Structures are given as C-alpha cells and as structure tokens.
Structure 1
Amino acid sequence: MLDAIIDTILDHIEINQNGMRNGIRGSYGVAHPEYPDAVGNEIIANIVGIKLAFTPLNEGQKTGWLRRLIPFVNTSWNQGETIADRARLIARFNTLFSKKIVNEDYGEPFANVINFTKKMLWDVVSEIHNLGHNAAPNFIHYCQQVVNAHETVFNMREVLALNGIPATSIYQIIHTFHQNNLGYGDLCETNVIEVHKMMAKAPPAGGFGGLVAWGPGNYHTVNENKKGHFLKHVLNADPQGKNLNWNDEMRRWWAQLNIQVTLATLNQHMPGNALVLANAGRFVDNNTPLAMNEVVPLMNALHGQMSDAFKDHMYTTYGAAYEQIALNIGLNLINPAVCSDAAHQKISISGRDNGGYQGDVFVVGRIKNGVLGISSCYFAEDINERLNRVVLWPL
C-alpha cells in the first residue's frame, strides 16, 4: 500500500513524518492507485541509503525527492521487469555509487534524466552485478575515488561500444589502473579509446621497449611526418603553418646536425630572391658557411619565403640525421611515460634524451592507424616544463 511504503521510508528519516506523509498523499489525490505489496518494505527501505542520502536536504527537498522516487519505481521500463526489480536496481545503484538515484541535484525538468537513469540501472548496474564487479576491490575503490563515477562509467562504456570495442572493457581498464596504483582522475570518455589502445601497446609495468620507428603523427604518412617535423624545428617552415615558440631551437639543430649553408647555396636554390640579396651581408663571402650566431636572424628574415627547392635541399641533405637522432632517443627514453594533454583527448608517450644531446631533446610518440611511432622530436626551451606532464602511467 502507498501509505505503508511512505511510512516505511519515513521510519528511517528523522523529520516531521506526519507532515511529509500528508504532503505526499495530497500530491496524488484520492484517485491515485495503491501500490502493490510486491515492492516490499525492506526493498523500499534500502532504496535510498536514507540517512546519508538525505543529510544535506531540508524537509521540502526530502518531500520532493520522495514524490519523484515513488512514481519512478512504479513506472515500467518496458523490459519485462517487476516493481521489485526496479527497486532492487535502485538500491544496488545507491549502495555502489553512494548516491540517491532521483534527487534535486539533477535540476528541472526531472523528465530530462529519466531515460539516462533507466539505461544506467538496467544496462550498467545489472551488468556490474552480473559480472561481480560490485564486490571487486578495484571497482569499489574507483567508485569511492571518482566524483560522479556512475556517469563516467556510463559514458566510457558508450564511447567504447560506439568504437567497436566491448563496453565491458572499461572494467579491465579500471582494474589495470587500480592494480598499478594509478590515479583515476584523468581517465574519462574523451580519452578512453586512446587509453585502451595504449594499454595494448605500452601497458603499465609491461617492459616498454622504446619507440622503435617513426609514425605518421599528425600527418597522413610516415614520410610526410618526418619531413614536416624537420622543416618545422630546423627551419621554422612547418608545412602545417605552425610557428616555433622558441626560435633559438633552429640554432641548436644547426649546430647538432652540423648544417653548412653558404650564400652560394641560397642563390642556387632561391635565385634572384630579394630577401637573400638583402641578407647577403650575414655571410663572410659566397662560399663560407653561415656563422651560428646568424642562423636565427637569417631564418627569421626568410620565414615564409623559402623556396620549395631550398627546403627540399635541406631535408635531402640533413633530414636522415635528424630522423636518426629521434630514433636513438626513442629507443632509450629517459622519464618515459604515457601522458594525456590538458583537454584529456590526446594520449602520447614522451620522454627526454639520456644526456647525449644535453638532455634537452624531447621525443613524443603516438598511435595512429594502429601503429605506435615517433610523432615529433625537438629541442625544448625548458625540458623540465616539458616533463611536467599529465602522466597516466610511467614506463
């Protein structure tokens, strides 16, 4: 009976029972159908985790909460379930996530969250219990540590399924994080696909073998990526139009690669260029290589105006050495780690050189088209700033 259900719940709440009971009854009117005994006093009493769940609410809020809970339990989800099934799932949800399933925090209108709530209970809570994760220490710990864990789990399951990955993979990911004492805070629906991929390529405590090859990075092909990053970091001539934040990186690469550019070289590959003529005074003569202190001023003067012939010449002459440096470092990374960007969308492996390049070269690897490879290699203006990353797990 409705009265019995209300009384059973109110027995667990230290408030004005008569006032709330009458308020709830009055909201339905005399024509409201009575609730069947199948709901059961014990189930209803367990639905709310009442003493904790109602702590921050005043009497009016508690009344509104109960007004929502009772019809929610009594409304079919069209899954062939009984009222008792619905009540049990709500009880399980509240126990697992330390939440009250229908509350004032969702805001108005209440109907906006009904479909999510039904799917959360029927699909996710049932799944968690059927697979035994409700009793697994790793999952319990996750639910205790993550704010709104129910929403995060729900969203990550949905993203995995939409990308052709079993939704239940999320429990193994959570288990791996727990097993390796990793923080859950940076695991979310925007990066869970990349995390899943990276765990297969470079799992925590999995004996990382280094970055053994270049990958396509943010280009379509490996060769495009290698050339693109050479042009960006050595000449500040990024094909994608990104300017260097630290122009002195060019001088570091010119010294490291022993780049020799003469005025004759420029005139050969950029004949008649007014900027070359205007900067001819930076050279001692036609055949003496440019001094290192003139590299950045000359490259700045030619920025955006270099001919394709000059860029191709530079890459053909020095590109292989640049690429090999990246491979040497990638195989022997110092401080390697799987990291997330600040937006929790891109997952990468990164680390520094082992001192052979003053410890200032930073290498980044990413997965693209199923292949883990070097994405970029550059001298960092402040290597410690580069190492101040959002680390998901060390390698």
Structure 2
Amino acid sequence: MMIPVEKLEQLSRRYRELDDLMCQPDVLSDRQKLAKLTKERSDIEPVVGQFQRYRDVEKNIRENEEALTDPELRPLAEQELPVLQDERSALERTIKLLLLPQDPNDKKNTIVEIRSGEGGEEAALFAADLFRMFARYAERQGWTLEVMSLSEAAAGGYKECIVLITGKDVYSQLRFEGGVHRVQRVPATETQGRIHTSTATVAVLPEADDVDVQIDEKDLEISIAASGGPGGQGVNTTNSAVQILHKPTGMIVKCQDERSQLKNKAKALKVLKSRLLDIEREKQEAAVSAERRGMVGTGERSQKIRTYNYPQNRVTDHRIRLTLNKLDRIIDGDLDELITALRNERQAALLQEASGEPRRVEDRGGDESDER
C-alpha cells in the first residue's frame, strides 16, 4: 500500500494555512479559536513533518540514481542509495501509521483495576506485585498514580486494588495490560519447594470525562459506613467509606482510601463512570463488544495473556508469543520492551487491515511446553 501523496499534500497545505491564520489579529484575540487552531496544527504536525522528510529523501534518491551514470560520483551514490532506500521504507511505514484513525481514548488517563484470582493467599501477593510493577512503570514514565480503592488480604497482598494513572498517553501504553496474568513460583509458605500457579486479573479502563458519561442521581444508591480492614487508625475510626450502587446496571463501587467522605465519593464516582463508559464502548463497537469481559474473564488459569515464571526468570506474553528472560527487571517496572512489542503488533495488524490482507502472528520464541 503506497502512501496517499495527494492527501499528504492537502495536509501540508492546511498546515501552512494554519500557520498564517494563527498570526491573524482576530485569531490572536480569540483564545477559544486560537486554541482550536493550535490543536489542529499540533495534530497534523507529525505527519506533515514526516512527509517533508520523505520528499527530501525521494529527491536525494533521484539525485543519487542520476549520479550512477557519472564514473566519479558512482561509488558514493552506490554507498548512499541503500541507506536512503531503507529510510524511505521506514518513513512510508511511519506515515501510514500516523494516518491511521486515532483511538480517542489513547491520550486519556487510565483506571487500572487489579484483583487476585485463583491461588488464595499467593494470588493476593501476586496482585500486590502487579500493583508495584505498574507503579514503578508509571514512575519511569513520569506519570502520577493515585490509589482509588484498596482491599488488603488478611495474610498480605491485595484482594483488590484500583488506581488512577494520569499523564501523557497513559491509555495508549497500558491498554495491552488488561487480562489474566499468571504467576508460577514457590510461595514463601511452601515447605516442600513445590511450584504453585496463581492468577490475578487486570482491567484497563480509560478515564471517563463528564461529557462521556451522564449519571442521573436518582439511579444511585449511596451508603456511608465506617471503613474496615487494614489501613491505619484514621481509616478505621471514621465513617468515611462510600459505597455506590448504580441501580440500572447493578454495579457496585466502594471507596474507603481517604478519610474524607466527599473525597471517597468523588473517587467512587470516577471509577463508576469509567466502568459505565467501558460498557457503552462495548455496545457501540461490535468489534470490541466483549473487550472488558475478554480482558478480565473469570480469572481461571486457562485464560492467561501473560505468564511470569520465577524459577526461570522468564516472562511469556502468549498473545504475541514473546518470551523475555528478564522477569526480575519486568516485575520492577521495566515494561518497555513488552509494551513496544505489543504496540508494534497492533500497528502491524491495523496496517494489514487497512490494506485488506490477512495477517499471521509470528512465533517470537515463546516456549509453552511448560507453560500449561
């Protein structure tokens, strides 16, 4: 699939037009209009820049091809041509990706829900490990993480942990983390050294804006109670825990992390709105109608997207059959290689879909012989 040159030239003309418009006195005096034009310019700037570079490379290729007829210039041209041709191919792919329809949720902040699955106490400990993994990854990215709700297990670890992660392009990075995560390791309580298998589920939801989801107050049943469970004196002794029942869906959200009743209510509403937005997306987009159910499933071991094998220091992502022998670094928040591979796979699939050709996932060294 060749790049659409005519469309790119139109975008380039529009980019120059926006530059001129943004210098007009009537635009400079109108903040709203200026902000709108600035955003439009910012949105098309990456593809216009890449197209300009593409045209420069094309010109250099033509000049080098002409130089092949000159005995003195031929050696240099033969050396430069392969490099330029490779750059042209890379630019074509980049431009095609930039022209793909953007997911409006990609730039949104994200709510991540982590719950222990099969495996009892070990599953709760693993859920806590996943929370720390995402927290450290967020720190590496310069994002901010806020705990919305936390339910600790009696023997340690988390039964449930809900966090809001804010920053640049959070959802576009974390969208691939939704699903059943499986761990294989020897629990601290195991006296005979046997490897146990446990799971935790992760749901990744774009934060809902007020314009995305409207909630009628009469559809809510709000309960206030004293917070329970581990969490310190301030949490346990105040009537600050808020539970919200959304009567039309039967969905229940509870938040007790803050001492303030109002803050807990605000957090619970934020989680509720994001869950309702996800339901709306399922209704509107038939292609992803079961996205969240597929993401979380039932938590059974067979519904895994990724396995963390501690004895072999190995992580396998089963969706793209990628195995990395650096579990210690990944669980410490070094998710870049995994996320990049998943993003590349998704982009390749989108490009194939745009070209109308079938796509086959390649095996990248994932050995599942002992992953079942």
Q: TM-score per shorter chain, which class?
A: under 0.3
Q: State TM-score, norm by structure 1.
A: 0.20
Structure number having the greater helix percentage: 1
Structure with more relative contact order (C-alpha pairs < 8 Å, separation 6 or more): 2
TM-score by length of 2: 0.21
Higher strand share: 2
